[in-house]
């Protein structure tokens, strides 16, 4: 009886310690690093993105080549750096498509 209680207590203690040792995942996305070749998906993606007209997290300019700065995206069908899924709710961050002044607002 004592051994059973000891084993249960030890298992409970180990479970509590393993849960406490797991670091909490940060939900913040560093949008300044989301640039490059982007592929749009309908399902599982690296980022869920909502398109807005005001107060975006990132201003995006679509380019044809060399998307090497913050806010520059080149849409591709393969060999992407990131995948995005455009959503209405539950986004990781918001974007506004612009012609000039891409990057952080």
Q: What is the chain's pLDDT, residue by residue, as a tens digit (105 residues)?
A: 666 666 666 566 556 555 544 444 456 899 999 999 999 999 999 999 999 999 999 999 999 999 999 999 999 999 999 999 999 999 999 999 999 999 999
Is the Cβ–Cβ distance between 81 and 36 less than 8 Å?
yes
Pairing of strands 93-97, 72-75: unpaired
26 secondary structure, DSSP code = P
User: Model pTM?
Assistant: 0.73
Is the Cβ–Cβ distance between 36 and 84 less than 8 Å?
no
Q: In which residue are the tokens 């300019």 written?
A: 61
pLDDT of residue 28: 85
d(CA 16, CA 104): 41
pLDDT of residue 81: 97
One-character DSSP codes across 30-43: -GGG--EEEEE-SS
d(CA 84, CA 36): 12
- CB-based contacts of 101: which residues, under 8 Å, 6+ apart? 59
């Amino acid at each position: 009886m004592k051994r059973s209680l000891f084993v249960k207590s030890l298992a409970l203690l180990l479970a509590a310690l393993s849960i406490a040792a797991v670091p909490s995942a940060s939900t913040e996305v560093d949008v300044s690093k989301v640039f490059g070749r982007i592929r749009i998906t309908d399902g599982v993606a690296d980022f869920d993105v909502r398109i807005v007209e005001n107060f975006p997290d990132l201003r995006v300019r679509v380019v044809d080549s060399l998307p090497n700065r913050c806010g520059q995206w080149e849409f591709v069908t393969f060999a992407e750096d990131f995948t995005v899924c455009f959503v209405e709710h539950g986004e990781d961050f918001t974007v506004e498509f612009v012609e000039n002044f891409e990057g952080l607002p």
